[in-house]
Amino acid sequence: MAKRKLKAMSPTETEILRLVWTLKEATVQEIREQLPADRTLAYNTVQTLLCRLEQKGYLKHRDQGRAHVFLPRIEPDEVIKTTVRDFLGRLFGGDPKPLVQFLAEDGKIDEEDIKRLRQLIEKRKKT
């Protein structure tokens, strides 16, 4: 499969996409119901965000009666890889070491994370 050039998402679009991934498929109303209680978005706003995500290639929809049911077009892993690579390229010149160092020094990586990273490193050495 050819690599897609994904268009950037706003933080709110990302929030909505994550909900669709969690639900597997959802209508506008179902997305609104899954938003945190303190996060109120109007029906039309959610609908607009879903349509933008579809235009950008992240979602697709099927009709169910009068409603659109939105489904992921792209898996989370693909979005994460593309976004992180873009972020590394823009901020760190493609070098992941400063990012990992920052996360370790900032306390965002705990002992369990370090153990998992060691496992990944060992697996990588074997290939």
Last residue of a domain, one of 72, 99, 114: 72
Q: The whole model's pTM is what?
A: 0.79
Q: Are residues 105 and 52 in the same domain?
A: no
Q: What is the pLDDT of residue 2?
A: 43
List, in sequence order, every residue forming a beta bridge with 60; answer none if it has no partner. 71
Q: Are residues 118 and 102 in the same domain?
A: yes
Q: What is the pLDDT of residue 4?
A: 62
Domain count, the chain: 2
Q: Are residues 26 and 65 in the same domain?
A: yes
Q: Is residue 70 a contact partner of residue 20, using CB atoms and an 8 Å limit?
A: yes
Q: Amino acid identity of 80?
A: I
**Where would I find the H helices in the chain?**
11-23, 28-34, 43-55, 76-92, 97-105, 111-126
Domain annotation covers residue 29? yes
**pLDDT mean for each 10 residues of the chain (127 residues):** 72 96 96 92 96 96 95 94 90 91 83 90 87
Last residue of a domain, one of 46, 72, 98: 72
